Amino acid sequence: GAGVSQSPRYKVAKRGQDVALRCDPISGHVSLFWYQQALGQGPEFLTYFQNEAQLDKSGLPSDRFFAERPEGSVSTLKIQRTQQEDSAVYLCASSSTGRRAEAFFGQGTRLTVV
């Protein structure tokens, strides 16, 4: 498809389990962003890649959260030893460079930690 694709759409994890969330950005998009959205809240910035370089990870809430984009296209957000407060929708967005570039968001992965 032409849009940003995220998988899985839904993930249920037991507390303490590791999870990996995948994002396929729009082909050719240089910039890739991850966001966390709790119920009833706006999306919170987690991290940003420009090609394979992770230029900003200021929003990652703890060292249990790790993101990578090794070849500058697909990205994976990994959460180790999941906790209940990690339950949220995780959104990925991509955009091209340039001052007018709009960001395109995927539908998100809903993570529920039980």
Partner 1 sequence: DAKTTQPNSMESNEEEPVHLPCNHSTISGTDYIHWYRQLPSQGPEYVIHGLTSNVNNRMASLAIAEDRKSSTLILHRATLRDAAVYYCILRDLNQGGKLIFGQGTELSVKP
Which residues contribute to the site for partner 1 (CB under 8 A)? Answer: 4, 31, 33, 35, 41-45, 48, 50, 55-56, 91, 93, 95, 99-108
Neighbours of 11 (CB within 10 A): 18
What's the closest the beta carbon of residue 95 comes to partner 1, in angstroms? 7
CA dist 31 and 103 (Å) reads 9
Question: Between 45 and 66, whose beta carbon lies closer to partner 1?
Answer: 45
Find residue 91's DSSP bridge partners.
35
Neighbours of 36 (CB within 10 A): 22
Question: Between 80 and 104, whose beta carbon lies closer to partner 1?
Answer: 104
Q: What share of the chain is helix, strand, coil (3-state, %, to 5)?
A: 5, 50, 50
What's the closest the beta carbon of residue 8 comes to partner 1, in angstroms? 15
Question: Between 17 and 31, whose beta carbon lies closer to partner 1?
Answer: 31
